[in-house]
Amino acid sequence: MKINQHTTDHTFTLVLDGELDASSSVLLDTELNQPSILEYQKVLIDCQKLNYISSAGLGVFISHLQRFQDANVKLVFFNMQEKVHNVFEILGLDSLLTIVPSQAEATAI
């Protein structure tokens, strides 16, 4: 798993590349746990190259969700592959998290 980040004035974007499993979820947790991330209005998660997500990976997002909501930071997923989106749907996370098809839509939120 490779995780790249880039920022603009109000947006922090993480680009996930590869498989998000128990071992790589530690990297994601470290990225999302940065105190400075709460200074942004939005955290965008680019899932275009995310090929697989395990329950550990999902757990990392869920564990940070309340923290982001308390800080009024929007968490938005975009460019999600169908097989990864199906995992979110099966677990009902698509109704809990904001998932949009494109970066343009994620940016517009």
Which CATH number belongs to the domain containing residue 82 in this structure? 3.30.750.24
**Cβ neighbours for 62, distance < 8 A, ≥ 6 positions apart:** 93, 96
Q: Which two tokens stand for residue 94?
A: 């698509």
Q: What is the pLDDT of residue 9?
A: 87
- Confidence band for 76, pLDDT divided at 50, 70 and 90: very high
Strand partners for 52: 19
| Amino acid present at 98 | T
State pTM to two decimals: 0.94
CB-count exposure of residue 8 (10 Å: 0-12, 13-18, 19+): exposed
Longest dimension (CA), the chain: 35
- Confidence band for 18, pLDDT divided at 50, 70 and 90: very high
Residue 18 to residue 25: CA distance in whole angstroms = 11
Q: Which two tokens stand for residue 52?
A: 């697989």
Q: For 47-70, what is each residue's pLDDT tens digit?
A: 999 999 999 999 999 999 999 999
- Confidence band for 11, pLDDT divided at 50, 70 and 90: very high
Number of domains in the chain: 1
> Whole domain around residue 19: which residue ranges?
2-108
